[in-house]
Chain A
């Protein structure tokens, strides 16, 4: 892309890769399943990846897409179909679902990336609704039933994923690697340009960057990783359904990201964990869960706009400053 890409690497945010948070994450991933129900944990990880990938766009590029459910849901349908009907091995099914999300991301991205602000959000929403309607009507998605009883199959044709613990290990590795990848992207020169675009698009343009190329690349990256989350989710639950492609899902990921801390690396993952836990452990309250989520959202916007992780980081740096 631009010849300038390499020159921004020396700015302050491109600090050397800090290993501490990753060590904490790895420990959490290892001891997690002995404390928490592994299927729930896998669900949380899928949503955490979903939110982190979404954050590439919202947090680091400053684009609010309201249609990311399209990538999650489509990848989930495609990988479920590939695993169930075509009998692909799980890693191929996941790759295939992810690739479809990437292509979809490229198409939708090319058509939407020139619009800005609320128009961008609305157009992405419109595309997501088209995808939803396609999934509702297409034969292979099974309407309201979704694609059910998808076999988890054998990883590389060798390791059976039927046991929840084996599946968990697989999901945890995928999540960890994706997380590293996101971290790498954000702290690369490319990530620096994305931030420049977020802060001041006109200035980035005047510096000679082809802003739209960068935005499109971020969009496609985000869509691809969201697709990965969706494809894995379909195999975890052995089910792909309309829930993942509905507009509520696009809203939920915004909530997760804002609650956890937009523009922080770990924030969206924490936000996802909080929201998924609430839905799981407060399920008995029925529709009150939505009300509680709404209240939390309002509190978050009014009192701690940097989200859970952002606020904690502020407190931490204040303490260290003394």
Chain B
């Protein structure tokens, strides 16, 4: 099954790897990881096949083969449909012996996978889906959320823009779980900072023509148009706004979930000046630059974004926990171990996994560079502020997660 993305990593490595004398050998069963993503649709660039690559790099860097761990990665395409995603997840767990599901961009699919994973007591390491409900009202002992979430995006971007004077907002909201969560979390921040929400319009997922929605946003006279969408929808709405001259007329666009791949798709002339929050940037230190270079060589020259970094980091940390347990364990036990151990890898840096399943790390408020400021390929962000981990994510007590106390 899924041979296209499938790789057997162990075998060859095992034979040649020189085992360091101090390393304990892993004696548990082989592991199987499934990257469930949008492989060809609007989220394919910011997650998709790149996430499979990121998972493989993490296995390589962890030295799984040398430690005697046989780890296999397979990929699956959920086509952004909750029913397709749910049936793949079920089949992976029931039939194909998958231990962990990774990534899952699209909150609707992620919520379905979240339930199934709990039911089967497996592990869901989410970095693709944004909804903060996964570590809030819908949290489970089997799910960890990496990289970013809607609360973090809203908090960083919302605060910054209201402070700059953008105190009335109108939302273009993707019509599903993710969009609602992002709109809800951003509205809360805007109102808390003293701003007002003028209205919102719900837009079907994967819309090509945003003109009628943009005209409503324009008519609202709000100072800021909040884009509570992602991937292809974000780039389409930003392009549309540029064509209608909305930004020239003085309304400011707030991309609430912008990925570096979206900036690349838009091009700097259109994207310049956008201010938003991102969970990771490739050009922050030597380790991240090295990772970006390795990754882009395998991914047709496209650089990694926060989701890829999240997949890398989550796989790395998962392997660390399994290695520490060194036996066959059910999902909740491994996740418990993952929460005990601090996270540390060369890509995401240091962090921790909270009891509600939220992995926290510092995040960045960035501004997209002007074309003349960009010195090298993919040199897109100016980091305005680094938000420390404990401020970047929703406080534990506010999430309503049943695992907290």
Stretch at the interface among A56-64, A145-153, A173-181, A186-194: A145-153
Q: Which residue of A lies closest to B2 (CB)?
A: A284
Given contacts A284-B2, A286-B77, contact A144 B91 (CB under 8 A): no
**Is A115 an interface residue when CB atoms closer than 8 A count as contact?**
no
**Is A237 an interface residue when CB atoms closer than 8 A count as contact?**
yes
Given contacts A37-B95, A136-B204, A283-B77, contact A146 B90 (CB under 8 A): no
**Is A7 an interface residue when CB atoms closer than 8 A count as contact?**
no
Name 14 extra pairs, CB < 8 A, besides A241-B82, A284-B5.
A143-B202, A144-B174, A144-B176, A145-B176, A146-B82, A148-B112, A149-B112, A237-B86, A241-B81, A243-B81, A244-B83, A284-B3, A284-B4, A286-B77
CA distance A27 to B39 in the complex (A): 39
Tell me whether A145 and B91 are in contact (CB under 8 A). no
- Give residues in B with beta carbon < 8 Å to A: 1-5, 39-40, 76-77, 80-84, 86-88, 90-91, 94-95, 107-108, 111-112, 115, 174-177, 202, 204-205
By a CB distance below 8 angstroms, the chain B residues around A287 are 40
CA distance A241 to B176 in the complex (A): 12
Tell me whether A143 and B176 are in contact (CB under 8 A). yes
**Is A239 an interface residue when CB atoms closer than 8 A count as contact?**
yes
Shortest beta-carbon contacts, A-B, top 6: A144-B176, A145-B108, A149-B115, A241-B83, A143-B175, A284-B2
Give per-residue flags for A228-259: 1 if the beta carbon is below 8 A from chain B beta carbons, else 0: 00000000011101111000000000000000
Q: Which of B87, B91, B111 contacts A148 (CB 8 A)?
A: B111
- Give residues in A with beta carbon < 8 Å to B: 37, 39-40, 43, 136, 143-146, 148-149, 164, 237-239, 241-244, 281, 283-287
By a CB distance below 8 angstroms, the chain A residues around B91 are 37, 39-40
- Contacts across chains A and B counted by CB atoms under 8 Å: 74
Tell me how far the C-beta of B111 lies from the nearest C-beta in chain A, rounded to whole angstroms. 6
Tell me whether B175 and A237 are in contact (CB under 8 A). no
Q: Which residue of A lies closest to B206 (CB)?
A: A144
Tell me how far the C-beta of B118 lies from the nearest C-beta in chain A, rounded to whole angstroms. 9
By a CB distance below 8 angstroms, the chain A residues around B202 are 143
Tell me how far the C-beta of B77 lies from the nearest C-beta in chain A, rounded to whole angstroms. 6
By a CB distance below 8 angstroms, the chain B residues around A237 are 83, 86-87
CA distance A238 to B87 in the complex (A): 10
CA distance A243 to B86 in the complex (A): 13
Tell me how far the C-beta of B300 lies from the nearest C-beta in chain A, rounded to whole angstroms. 17
Q: Which of A39, A145, A285 contacts B82 (CB 8 A)?
A: A145
By a CB distance below 8 angstroms, the chain B residues around A146 are 82-83, 108
Tell me how far the C-beta of B348 lies from the nearest C-beta in chain A, rounded to whole angstroms. 29
CA distance A143 to B111 in the complex (A): 14
Pairs across A and B, CB under 8 Å, 9 listed: A144-B82, A144-B174, A144-B177, A145-B111, A148-B111, A243-B84, A283-B77, A284-B1, A284-B5
Tell me how far the C-beta of B115 lies from the nearest C-beta in chain A, rounded to whole angstroms. 4
CA distance A241 to B84 in the complex (A): 10
Given contacts A286-B39, A286-B77, contact A39 B90 (CB under 8 A): yes
CA distance A8 to B174 in the complex (A): 57
Tell me whether A39 and B87 are in contact (CB under 8 A). yes
Tell me whether A37 and B94 are in contact (CB under 8 A). yes
Tell me whether A39 and B94 are in contact (CB under 8 A). yes
Q: Which residue of B lies closest to A149 (CB)?
A: B115
Tell me how far the C-beta of A81 lies from the nearest C-beta in chain B, rounded to whole angstroms. 15
CA distance A115 to B3 in the complex (A): 49
By a CB distance below 8 angstroms, the chain B residues around A136 are 175, 204
CA distance A322 to B3 in the complex (A): 47
